[in-house]
Copies of this chain bind each other. A is one copy, B any other.
Amino acid sequence: MKPNASKAPRGVALVGQSGGPTCVINESLVGVVREALRHKQITAVYGALHGIQGILRQELIDFGSEKAKTLDQVAATPSAALGSVRKKPTPEECADIFDVFRAHNVRYFFYIGGNDSAETASIINRLAADHGYELRVCHIPKTIDNDLLVTDHCPGYGSAARFVALAHVGDNLDNRALRGVKLNVIMGRHAGFLTAAAGLGRVHDDDGPHLIYVPEVPFDVERFTGEVDGYLKKLNRCVIAVSEGIAGPDHQPVLTTGEKDSHGNVQLSGTGALGDYLAGLIKSRLNVSRVRADTFGYLQRSFPTVVSPVDAREARAVGAFGVKMMVTSREVLSGSVAMRRTGKQGRYGVEYFITPLETVAKKTRSLDARFIAPSGSDVTPAFVRYALPLIGELPVAGRLRGKRVRQREVEARQAGATAPAAG
């Protein structure tokens, strides 16, 4: 199809970032840049500001003038250093993109993002072929949602999952100290992977979250309040992790299906409406005075210092691997970088490979059925085995042995002082 398909072209490598930022998307950027600077077929390495918007506006930067130390610092910094964009190019814009590519002799295009970004890469790749323009297009995966097909998991997920797991370790301890119901709303429009991570830090039998609701299981208000009530009766407290994407049996988001539609917001993140609605439900239906709801929001994807070392390493590696394949392979001329597990005897390991863009573009993966507990409101040990190696080591939460002091008789002036109360 393409001219000289088996020989890598000589020209500029262009890299862009797209979609929601993550804590390690800059590792992938630096992985691409570092590797690209090593190959002599690549005449220069450019970055597009705010993804394809930067290409359309010719807002490009030259990585040749960045210091190594700056690149190291950028790699370890959350969010997208080039700026990001949520934009699917129209056919006209794709034609414009090629005009810019031609003008700058761009022959390698690396687009770091999720399935929408893979779709953009795929469209550009197809149009390049149609135009007879020799271009190698590589999608570099990133998403905190972990919802890309083919790959075992996505760079960005491990660090976001670490944040969610740690947050619940702390929140469970907080709820143990001051009892009541605590509900946390977690990002993930369609896939429950990030919400499921709430369960990764549990150690003791009574550790929360006690209930985990993912978008893959139809959300039923009656069952929900019943399950919360069960934990209140058993433990006098309940920690709940809920995906922002939970939907009723009719596949409509909960907020538009519930009795009270007063919040009525279609946008899922960046608002506390779902948490407040569910907290209100619990308060009105159950006998509990202390109900609190937090919506983790953007902290999950951009909090500095809460980074999984495994995730950072893999994010760097997918970028470098994509460049290496595009420059050296005689067969694989486009695609998306993916990972498969190779670890043996319980040791974790991955290898990288290229999957066709079309296998990743637009499609989304859901939380595997084997990862959802039969109850529908928890995760399975199989999920913990899958996800725990991705988030880095968790700190050991200390718990007092708590040997009770024998109660002594006191002057029986008032019953309250002697009778040990329940709870």
Contact = CB atoms under 8 A, between A and B. Distances in A.
Contacts of A397: 73, 77, 304
A275 interface: yes
Interface stretch (A99-107, A220-228, A342-350, A354-362): A99-107
Interface residues of A, number: 105
A61 B404 contact: yes
Interface in A17-36: 17, 20-21, 23, 26
Contacts of A11: none
Interface string A198-239: 000000000000000000000000000000000000000000
B400 A66 contact: yes
B58 A177 contact: no
A265 to B, nearest CB: 8
22 contacts: A23-B170, A58-B417, A58-B420, A67-B401, A73-B396, A73-B397, A74-B399, A74-B400, A76-B395, A86-B178, A99-B410, A99-B413, A103-B410, A167-B299, A182-B270, A270-B293, A271-B272, A272-B276, A292-B298, A294-B299, A295-B297, A304-B397
Interface stretch (A88-96, A114-122, A369-377): A88-96
Given A167-B303, A174-B302, 10 more contacts: A21-B174, A57-B419, A66-B401, A67-B401, A70-B401, A73-B399, A95-B413, A104-B408, A294-B298, A295-B295
Given A298-B171, A396-B73, A397-B77, A292 B304 contact: no
Number of copies: 2
Interface of A: 17, 20-21, 23, 26, 46-47, 49-50, 56-62, 65-67, 70-86, 92-93, 95-97, 99-100, 102-104, 166-167, 169-171, 173-174, 176-178, 182, 269-273, 275-276, 279, 291-299, 301-306, 394-405, 407-411, 413-414, 416-421
**Top 8 A-B residue pairs of the complex, sorted by shortest distance between their CB atoms:** A272-B272, A270-B292, A73-B398, A294-B297, A79-B173, A74-B398, A96-B417, A170-B302
Nearest to A86: B178
Contacts of A102: 410-411
Contact of A70 (B167, B276, B398): B398
A307 B75 CA distance: 23
Nearest to A63: B400
A396 B418 CA distance: 56
A96 B416 contact: yes
Contacts of A410: 58, 96, 99-100, 102-103
